[in-house]
Amino acid sequence: MLAGTLAFLIVVPALPRSLGGELATRTGGMLRKFSLSQYWSMYAPNAAQRTRYIRVTSHYEDGHSEDLEECIEEEGGWGTQWAWTKNRRAIWRYRLSREKATRDRAWYLRGVCVREARRNGGVAPKRVEMHSVRRTIRSPSAVRAGKATYGKKQFKKVGSMACSTDLVLRMLAGDGVRP
């Protein structure tokens, strides 16, 4: 019964006027009152054309650098992404990957300074840098023609934080980590 009702509500409003007539018009009008009608324009013409991840690197006084845990998605996460498989951290990192500067990114990088100092026995990096790594998503017709799904990686530096700023030093002291 429920399946039949749902099929009716989906199929009838989509019928051409010559087939559905007044019933299709009335059903479609009823669904619009309840905002239950969806159009392909929500999906098809505005499909994603690029995707991006972040790459965070720490730089130390002795000159060596390390790629941090945030790089895991940039290194291997270029497959299909389903919203329900992403955790809170993945969503947060996606927000940080935008090229427009945000206060969130600065606070995140300050937190990375503290996290890395904890992991390294109290030795904080000299600075941490964040890059947005972007790849274009090719059209279905291009992929069918044999091209790879994604274009080349494009790196853009979107943030940098010195771990020796007064605010970061206070955060380190408050965390119990000696700078």
Residue 165 DSSP one-character state: S
Whole-number pLDDT of residue 72: 84
Give counts: helices (H), strands (E), the chain. 7, 4
Co-location of 162 and 78 in the same domain: yes
Co-location of 10 and 85 in the same domain: no
Cβ atoms of 152 and 98 within 8 Å: the answer is no
Chain centroid offset of residue 27 CA: 38
Co-location of 20 and 82 in the same domain: no
Q: Is 132 helix (H, G, I), strand (E, B) or coil?
A: strand
Whole-number pLDDT of residue 45: 61
Residue 25: which pLDDT band, with cuts at 50, 70 and 90? confident
- pTM metric for this prediction: 0.68
Q: Is 66 helix (H, G, I), strand (E, B) or coil?
A: strand
For residue 69, give both structure tokens: 């845990």
**Sheet with 154-162, edge to edge strand ranges:** 65-67, 50-59, 127-136, 154-162
Chain centroid offset of residue 179 CA: 32
The domain containing residue 24 runs over which residues? Answer: 2-42
Whole-number pLDDT of residue 2: 75
SS3 content of the chain, % helix, strand, coil (to 5): 45, 20, 35
Co-location of 76 and 129 in the same domain: yes
Whole-number pLDDT of residue 128: 98
Cα separation, 129 vs 142, whole angstroms:
34
Q: Is 135 helix (H, G, I), strand (E, B) or coil?
A: strand
Residue 168: which pLDDT band, with cuts at 50, 70 and 90? very high
Q: What is the pLDDT of residues 117-151, one digit of tens each?
A: 999 988 999 999 999 999 998 888 888 999 998 99
Residue 27: which pLDDT band, with cuts at 50, 70 and 90? confident
Query: How many structural domains compose the chain?
Result: 2
Co-location of 115 and 86 in the same domain: yes
Co-location of 72 and 111 in the same domain: yes
Q: Is 169 helix (H, G, I), strand (E, B) or coil?
A: helix
Q: What is the pLDDT of residues 30-68, one digit of tens each?
A: 766 666 555 555 555 667 788 888 999 999 999 999 999
Q: What is the pLDDT of residues 66-124, one digit of tens each?
A: 999 988 888 877 776 666 677 888 888 888 888 787 888 999 999 999 999 999 988 99
